[in-house]
Structure 1
């Protein structure tokens, strides 16, 4: 269990000052940091306030025992009964906070995650709030941001009190719903972070089984990602050209290049099957640029684990983004279909691949790196139709950046020209009927043989003509030489 939490003082102290200056009586937001099952220390790098809801209301407010809000309590205080009333408790829109956490978690890279929530409220209001309410919100955030290491169930709750002014932290164990206090102190973390990056190339082939009805695009894609997760998990690792071993010493320096060494083996998923069982083939290929940050006094093995988790999490995020976009587009098309009386199309994640009778190709969002604090980067994912301006808007909305980063400072390590050779990030091919594909292949083979026969006949004719021309030239040359020599004789 985590016993001590260290916060980045260069960011948290100014954040606390802004909260005091705002005059707000309550606020809820996300904690960005790192909690590890292998360490008793946790790190807090930044706090991100949850934005107002779609209706414009706050994600967190105060409510008195009588059900009235803060303004109602002020009005009731004119009668001089406020001293006898219990302090207002905190009311949180848990669903909205969870959705914010889901969006923000996509922008984090290895070694930095949404690890809990923070509360800005007076000591009295915080104590008046039921612990079950706070645990429920933390659980919602945890479910919206699943970790690569799914077995670790600890999350963090930070309370910033303005009356009196102080910080306190608690560790929430999700299984038992307990809130245990832990030490909180400030320190300098960002300056000592080490970055590890790699470009992971992959290609896997998944047969589409005609006997199952669960071969939707999303299910098959998740199967491929899970296969990659196992592949990455057992890969050998090179860091700066050195093979990682158990006795690898601590590393220094800011940036380290990582390479994964995979064994030469056949694709276990593309096992032999009969034509009657297979309805098609899905091919996933591309390159993922992974990054992870290693905190102070953490072992190098933790950086490798975080980097592997970043690669798999990045692929899952892209699939979720496609599904979200498809849901929005499907809702719009359903509305149009209802008006026109036409059948609505399925969202892309619900497409049953073995029912398709044509080539299906889809581009996944590409990852871009965005400067956040000092030399620390976060990420965003751009659809083919999006630009860096969309990234700036998301940074401003989701991360409450007052000054979004300049476009010139953003990095695009996964540009299509660089690693896709002008093709999509993920190619889904040959999703038609196998017998039809075999017939097409037979026709193409027959056509090819006929073409080869015609070419062979034409080639033989050309050889015959050339031979006749050569013989004629020899005959003419011989005749000229013979008659010329006869005339020259006395």
Structure 2
């Protein structure tokens, strides 16, 4: 359980200066970016990000005033005080959760959406306890913290009447009660300046099986990649790490400047696809390979093992984020997708709609390039990221970062790091080619396969088994004749 929260004093001062300016709205909501550390019973807050207006240009949080019934019998001063005391917050929970979902894709290892902040009066905050708790739960569901079993998030309240900062620990759950929100210790410190940076270039190659039409597993490319990434996450848990050329120790901690170089060593595991090919429901395979540039940030007093866990989580979350991006585009492109099992419909899937394609229906090689990660300077010496499609340039980043993170991208594009190759995420083999390759070379040919496969197979060189048999017969006949010749000579 989080017992103490430490916020970056410089960023909090910037936030306070912004909020206490004239003409600022009476209510505001945003996200808390930081890190939960169960091992230390602490949370570290890096920054507060304002949630932008929704698609209808309405603010996600506004003040509702409910006049009391006896206002007519009060004076003007009493009426004003009554309205203030009965005010509450109207929060667009869905929009705040969507903001959290998109921002979480832009955070690197060791950084997460750990809660929300509220800018409101003390009375409005107290009168909206249930609504605020519901918002925190939706944010936690939309932006989960990878592989950390912590059922709590933070609520930071910035009050202007009276003027003060408070922090509360919000317990997630299905029911709200008096113990769902608890106060916790809150102080300022130099959080960002004390972060240590870890960098890892991770290369991978996943061979994922394609199941037949009768298999119970999902058969779309989206299903296959999603299952493959989840399987790889389990394998990645057992990986050891080399940090700056030295094998990582369990509780190793040391403070040093610069970026720590990390190399992950995966344990030897069985090839999932080769093992699955022994079954009758496998009709092919997808080869999913690439290279990921991963970063993680370690808070003070945390061990190096935590930085490695953050690197692993960043790799998996990055893969899932890229898959979500291409699937979102596929959903938008579904209107142009032709349904059916005809030969024509098998060729109608565009690059955008390919994630929704049923794989065992396709009959030609295909490939899909995943979005590449680019790194943008953020606070102190830290970075955040975004993803670009092959045809996109840095220009598309400007509006995205301005809207979601309330920052401007650097005018000098040389400060934006692009360490991943554009073509690094591809399905490099079609499942039909993979099926007829060495993966299934030990299996007998299935006579029920489509004719298109038979044609493909006919192009492969055929072993001259007939000529071998003829040669053997000739040699046998020669041996018999020689034997008869020497038999006749002896008899003479």
The number of aligned residues is: 431
Alignment partner, residue 7 of structure 2: 7
| Greater mean deviation of Cα atoms: 18-27 or 94-103 | 18-27
1:235-270 deviation line (CA, Å, top 9, x unaligned): 111000101123534242231000011234441343
**Correspondence for 1:172:** 170
The answer to whether the 8 Å contact 2:146/2:313 transfers is yes
CA contact (8 A) 1:87 1:124 kept: yes
Structure 1, 88-97 or 228-237: larger mean CA deviation = 228-237
- Cα distance, 1:428–1:44 mapped onto 2, change above 3 Å: farther
* Partner Cα separation in structure 2 for residue 160 and residue 323 of structure 1: 38
In proportion to residue count, which structure has more helix? 1
Query: Cα RMSD over matched residues?
Result: 2.9
Aligned to 1:239: 243
User: How far did residue 327 of structure 1 move?
Assistant: 2.0
Is the contact made by 1:3 and 1:182 (CA closer than 8 Å) also made in structure 2? yes
Q: 2-side partners of 1:45 and 1:247: how far apart?
A: 24
SS at match of 1:401: coil
Question: Deviations along 1:4-59, whole A, 9 cap, x unmatched?
Answer: 11111111111111111142200000000001222211100000000011111100
Partner residue, 2:49: 48
TM-score (norm 1): 0.81
Structure 2 counterpart of 1:118:
117
Q: Secondary structure at the match of 2:373?
A: strand
Aligned to 1:257: 261
**Aligned partner of residue 324 in structure 1, secondary structure:** helix
Local SS of the residue matching 2:37: coil
Partner in structure 2 of residue 212 of structure 1: 215
* SS of structure 1 residue aligned to 2:14: helix
Counting only pairs closer than 5 Å after superposition, residues 51-450 of structure 1 correspond to structure 2 as 51-65=52-66, 81-85=79-83, 86-129=85-128, 131-175=129-173, 177=176, 178-210=180-212, 211-212=214-215, 214-246=218-250, 248-273=252-277, 276-330=280-334, 333=336, 347-402=353-408, 404=410, 406-416=412-422, 420=424, 424-427=425-428, 429-431=430-432, 435-436=449-450, 439-446=454-461
Q: Could you tell me how far 1:302 is from its partner in structure 2? A: 1.0
Q: What TM-score do the two structures reach when normalised by structure 2?
A: 0.81
Aligned 8 A contact 1:235 1:262 in 2: yes
Deviation at 1:385, TM superposition (A): 1.5
- Counterparts of 2:78 and 2:457, CA distance in 1: 93
**Aligned-pair CA distance for 1:279:** 1.9
CA distance in 2, matches of 1:77, 1:396: 46
Q: 1:311 to 1:77 in 2, by over 3 A?
A: farther
- Considering only CA atoms, is the larger Rg found in Structure 1 or Structure 2? 1
Please give the alpha-carbon distance, in whole angstroms, between the structure 1 residues aligned to 2:278 and 2:41. 53
CA gap 1:46/1:439 in 2 versus in 1, 3 angstroms? same
Q: Distance in 2 between matches of 1:358 and 1:383?
A: 24
Q: Please, which runs of 5 or more residues in structure 1 have no aligned partner?
A: 68-72, 335-341, 450-490
Question: CA–CA distance in 2 between the matches of 1:274 and 1:34?
Answer: 44
> Contact 1:396–1:404 at 8 Å: present in 2 too?
no
- Paired residue secondary structure (1:416): coil
For the 8 Å contact 2:64–2:89, the answer to whether it is kept is: yes
Distance in 2 (CA, whole Å) between partners of 1:438 and 1:329 is 30
